[in-house]
């Protein structure tokens, strides 16, 4: 009996007989030899069948199997410098689990709509496979980093009674007894309660925005990582944000360089991502935009176009602070030196990728917070629990949210967020 191996670890089995379980990716033939490109989820390898070294029925299988047929292949591992990954498999036996029907995704070019309709199959292609492995690694690295820094995982609810990031992008659903529930736009308000209980917490989960805009940077369902820290101010979370992001980039570079190459990423650009990141104020960013001929009125938040232009000015992520209060959410604390400005930050990824982080110091004063709720025309009653956090032992605190898909899109160098999540949800797409 041959040992069951994975392609990822095939190097441990040189000159030994192993069994691989996978799918046929591609095949070609040349005279009395058949080459089967097999993938097993961990990698791909070329399996070679030589006519007079296998039984006639085994050799015949090579001619009948179709793309994406499921196979169990047994053979001897040979080291071969010319092969992708440095090894190939000299086949002695093939067991076909299923001969796949005509596979819709062929090596030829397909348009994005077709690929998205077949997302459940598109996931098997080399580039998508690499992106999803990078995603898995990035989330794991973020969790490990925060645990090392003393953060406690604090899961926030998805069904919520209130808005966190403005009422225009809420998904509504009927709750019981005539009540309405909203899908969470952010775990932040709950993370603040967590920080008052546990000191340093983070949430990581799906968040929802009924974005009516069709842009490559917006999903209606996306994942957010949100650290929240008691006894912290804006400066503290600026440091945390740049440490976290540089750690993530470095960790992907160290552990997933093969996948980065598969997606065609320029690794030198990522190697530049080392603290300190440039920090500028909203007013300075406005000046930069004006110098580039983009007239913008003081007081508005930057949109996708402004973010793109700003993020093209830097080789590193840039952190922009002190936006006008009217441009930002109700919970942000005002700058005591200039109450028109919020103690907030946006981090924009370089190379035109735009905003990956939004955060702030929180309004910790009960009366100020009441005023801010009123100024944003938000009802007081559903926020009573949130106001309690200011009634009972309020402290300065701050946090931010890092968009997982935006971060992956930047690190992988892909332009559209739809490839950064297994099943993207967008304005015109909920299938599959």
Q: Contact positions toward ligand 4AD, by CB under 6 A?
A: 164-165, 186, 188, 209, 211, 218-219, 222, 224, 226, 355-359, 399-401, 403, 405-406, 417
ω into 189 cis (within 30 of 0): no
Which partner, Mg ion, ligand 4AD, none, binds residue 22 by CB below 5 to 8 Å per kind? Answer: none
The strand pair at 318-321 and 44-50 is best described as unpaired
Choose from ligand 4AD, Mg ion, none: what does 146 bind? Cβ within 5-8 Å by kind: none
- Residue pair 205/192 in contact (Cβ under 8 Å)? The answer is no
* Token couple for 51: 């006519």
Cis peptide, bond prior to residue 233, ω within 30 of zero = no
Smallest distance from Mg ion to CB 253, Å: 26
Shortest Cβ contact with Mg ion: which residue?
Answer: 358
Give me 173's structure tokens.
């659903």
Which residues have a Cβ under 8 Å from the Cβ of 197 and sit 6 or more positions away? none
Instruction: Name which of ligand 4AD, Mg ion, none residue 40 binds, using a CB cut-off of 5 to 8 Å depending on partner kind.
Output: none
Query: CA separation (Å) from 150 to 16, 223, 370?
Result: 46, 22, 32
What residues from 93 to 112 belong to the interface with Mg ion (CB under 5 A)?
none
**Are the C-beta atoms of 78 and 15 separated by less than 8 Å?**
yes
* DSSP string of 105-124, one letter each residue: --SS---HHHHHHTHHHHTT
Q: Is 57 helix (H, G, I), strand (E, B) or coil?
A: helix
Beta strands in 155-199 (DSSP E): 159-160, 172-174, 180-183
Contact flag: residue 358 with Mg ion (CB under 5 A): yes
Beta carbon of residue 322, minimum distance to ligand 4AD (angstroms, whole number): 15
Q: Shortest gap between Cβ of 156 and ligand 4AD (angstroms)? A: 10
Q: Considering CB distances under 5 to 8 angstroms, the limit depending on partner class, which of ligand 4AD, Mg ion, none binds residue 397?
A: none
CB closer to Mg ion, 165 vs 192:
165
User: Measured from the CB of residue 201, what is the shortest distance to ligand 4AD in angstroms?
Assistant: 11
In the complex with ligand 4AD, the residue whose CB is nearer, 27 or 209, is 209
- Residue among 292, 318, 310 nearest 352 (CA): 310
Indicate the length of the chain as a whole number: 432
Cβ proximity to ligand 4AD, 191 vs 260, nearer residue: 191
Q: Does 399 bind Mg ion (CB under 5 A)?
A: no
**Residue 306 contacts which entry, Mg ion, ligand 4AD, none (Cβ below 5-8 A, type-dependent):** none
Q: How far is the CB of 133 from ligand 4AD (least distance, A)?
A: 20
Nearer to ligand 4AD, 324 or 358 (CB): 358
Q: From the CB of 114, what's the least distance to Mg ion, in Å?
A: 32
CB of 40 to ligand 4AD, least distance (A): 32
| 403 near Mg ion, rule: CB under 5 A | no
Q: Which is nearer to Mg ion, 202 or 323 (CB)?
A: 323
165 binds, among ligand 4AD, Mg ion, none (CB under 5 to 8 A by kind): ligand 4AD
Token pair 């540089």 is at which residue? 246
What is the H or E stretch that residue 30 is in? Answer: strand 17-30
| Options 32-40, 238-246, 307-315, 354-362: segment touching Mg ion (CB under 5 A) | 354-362
138 is written with which tokens? 């990035």
Q: Of these partners, Mg ion, ligand 4AD, none, which one is at the site of residue 357 (CB under 5 to 8 Å by kind)?
A: ligand 4AD
DSSP string, 352-383: TTEEEEEEEEBP--HHHHHHHHHHTT--SGGG
**CA 102 to chain CA centroid, nearest Å:** 32
Residues within the interface to Mg ion (CB under 5 A): 358
């Amino acid at each position: 009996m041959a040992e069951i191996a994975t392609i990822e670890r095939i190097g441990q089995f040189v000159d030994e007989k192993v069994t691989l379980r996978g799918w046929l990716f591609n095949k070609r033939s040349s005279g009395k030899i058949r080459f089967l490109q097999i993938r097993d989820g961990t990698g791909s390898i070329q399996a070679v069948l030589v006519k007079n070294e296998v039984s006639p029925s085994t050799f015949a299988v090579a001619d009948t199997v179709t793309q994406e047929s499921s196979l169990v292949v047994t053979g001897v591992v040979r080291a071969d410098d010319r092969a992708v990954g440095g090894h190939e498999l000299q086949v002695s036996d093939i067991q076909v689990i299923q001969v796949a029907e005509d596979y819709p995704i062929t090596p030829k070019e397909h348009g994005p709509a077709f690929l998205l309709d077949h997302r459940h199959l598109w996931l098997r292609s080399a580039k998508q496979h690499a992106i999803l492995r990078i995603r898995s690694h990035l989330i794991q690295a973020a969790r490990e980093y925060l645990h090392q820094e003393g953060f406690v995982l604090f899961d926030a609810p998805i069904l919520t009674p209130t808005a966190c990031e403005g009422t225009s992008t809420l998904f509504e659903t009927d709750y019981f007894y005539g009540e309405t529930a909203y899908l969470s736009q952010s775990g932040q308000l709950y993370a603040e309660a967590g920080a008052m209980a546990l000191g340093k917490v983070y949430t990581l989960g799906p968040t929802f925005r009924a974005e009516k805009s069709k842009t490559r940077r917006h999903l209606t369902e996306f994942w957010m990582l949100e650290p929240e820290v008691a006894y912290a101010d804006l400066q503290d979370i600026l440091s945390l944000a740049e440490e976290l992001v540089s750690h993530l980039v470095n960790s992907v570079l160290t552990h997933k360089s093969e996948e980065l190459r598969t997606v065609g990423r320029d690794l030198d650009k990522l190697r530049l991502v080392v603290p300190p990141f440039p920090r500028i104020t909203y007013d300075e960013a406005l000046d930069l935009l004006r110098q580039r001929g983009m007239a913008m009125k003081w007081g508005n938040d930057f949109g996708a176009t402004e973010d793109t232009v700003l993020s093209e000015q830097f080789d590193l992520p840039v952190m922009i602070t002190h936006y006008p209060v009217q441009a930002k959410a109700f919970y942000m604390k005002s700058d005591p030196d200039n109450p028109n400005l919020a103690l907030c930050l946006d981090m924009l990824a370089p190379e035109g990728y735009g905003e990956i982080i939004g955060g702030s110091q929180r309004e910790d004063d009960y009366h100020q917070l009441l005023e801010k709720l009123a100024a944003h025309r938000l009802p007081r009653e559903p926020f009573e629990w949130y106001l309690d956090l200011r009634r009972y032992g309020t402290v300065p605190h701050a946090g931010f949210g890092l968009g997982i898909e935006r971060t992956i899109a930047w690190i992988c160098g892909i332009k559209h967020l739809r490839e950064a999540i297994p099943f993207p949800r967008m304005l015109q797409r909920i299938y599959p």
